[in-house]
């Protein structure tokens, strides 16, 4: 496995793959790797890609300094997991490489306005400007590629797809299904910050989604159900919404077709998110879709 930490050899490696007739599959991460990340690596391998995994904790997407300071970092374990998973190049750029002016503001920002505003954007001002800016930079450095993102961060996936479309990057964005533990909890680096009791309470997010999907209720009823499930487990609810899959605007009770149920909450000071597809059929009754 190649280990790279500077932009020039990272760019050169990706180009060498293409020059040899290969296709680059890039998996952007902030480290603290778990099997959800590794499932993206497996998907890239299944597509025949040479896998470049990036590991960079991006300060520009954190509005809370304590959240940035407390974000889990496991560099030695990450390298071992990546190598065992068959990652071809592990890229861990320095802060100085990515944002040379830090801690002064970086003057260039990429913003995907309407898609970044609701949900996580409402509770974390500037978050998606930081996400869009770092993703744009790593895609520019890597060059033509497939880019793999997990559906657990569904709003991020929608933002990145729009960024790639609007800026005409030669990149195919591949969304990959959320991985869950045996009790339904979505795998996340932030789970490592929770106590056993916190993990038990955090499972209310996936229970809330399942309850909404099985209720056959209208969007307004699904919102109430999700909030009640999380409240009853002691989760500090940030939002519980049902939105359009493309625009992320809230669905009204008259809407038909596919939507996305989106939840977020705080457990033991840790912000957690989850989501799932939800379907409203033409007859007014809801079909529950499996995970």
Q: What is the CATH number of the domain that holds 261?
A: 3.30.1300.10
Mean pLDDT, consecutive 10-residue segments, the chain of 291 residues? Answer: 98 98 98 98 98 98 94 97 98 97 96 97 96 98 98 98 98 98 97 98 98 96 98 98 98 94 98 97 45 34
Record the pTM.
Answer: 0.94
139 in the same domain as 213: no
- Both 148 and 241 in one domain: the answer is no
Q: How far, in Å, CA of 219 to CA of 241, rounded?
A: 8
127 catalytic residue (yes or no) = no
Tally of domains within the chain: 2
Domain region containing 169? 2-176
> Domain check: are 172 and 76 in the same one?
yes
Residues 138 and 215 in one domain: no
Residues 172 and 198 in one domain: no
- Does residue 182 lie in a domain region? no
Q: Among residues 2, 34, 37, 45, which one is catalytic?
A: 37
Asked if 111 and 226 sit in the same domain, the reply is: no
Residue 277 in any domain: the answer is: yes
- 140 closest CA partner among 160, 169, 162, 163: 169
Q: Does residue 183 form part of some domain?
A: no
Residues 71 and 141: their CA atoms lie apart, in Å, by 25
Pair 57, 151 in one domain: yes
């Amino acid at each position: 496995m190649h280990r790279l930490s500077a932009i020039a050899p990272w760019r050169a490696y990706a180009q060498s793959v293409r020059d040899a007739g290969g296709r680059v599959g890039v998996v952007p991460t902030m480290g603290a790797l778990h099997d959800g990340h590794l499932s993206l690596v497996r998907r890239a391998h299944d597509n025949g890609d040479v896998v470049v995994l990036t590991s960079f904790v991006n300060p520009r997407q954190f509005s809370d300094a304590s959240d940035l300071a407390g974000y889990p970092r496991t560099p030695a374990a990450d390298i071992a997991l990546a190598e065992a998973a068959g990652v071809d190049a592990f890229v861990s750029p320095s802060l100085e490489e990515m944002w040379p002016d830090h801690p002064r503001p970086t003057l260039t920002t990429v913003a995907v306005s309407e898609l970044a505003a609701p949900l996580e954007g409402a509770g974390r001002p500037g978050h998606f400007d930081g996400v869009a800016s770092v993703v744009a930079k790593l895609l520019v450095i890597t060059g033509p590629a497939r880019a793999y993102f997990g559906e657990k961060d569904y709003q991020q996936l929608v933002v990145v797809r729009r960024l790639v479309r609007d800026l005409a990057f030669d990149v195919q964005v591949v969304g990959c299904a959320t991985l869950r533990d045996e009790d339904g909890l979505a795998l996340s680096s932030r789970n490592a910050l929770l106590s056993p009791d916190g993990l038990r309470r955090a499972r209310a997010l996936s229970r809330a989604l399942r309850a909404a999907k099985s209720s056959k209720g209208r969007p307004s009823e699904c919102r109430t159900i999700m909030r009640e499930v999380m409240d009853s487990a002691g989760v500090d609810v940030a939002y519980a919404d049902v939105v359009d899959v493309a625009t992320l605007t809230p669905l009204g009770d008259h809407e038909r077709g596919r939507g996305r149920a989106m939840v977020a909450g705080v457990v033991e000071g840790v912000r957690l998110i989850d989501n799932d597809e939800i379907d409203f059929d033409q007859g007014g009754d809801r079909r529950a879709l499996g995970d």
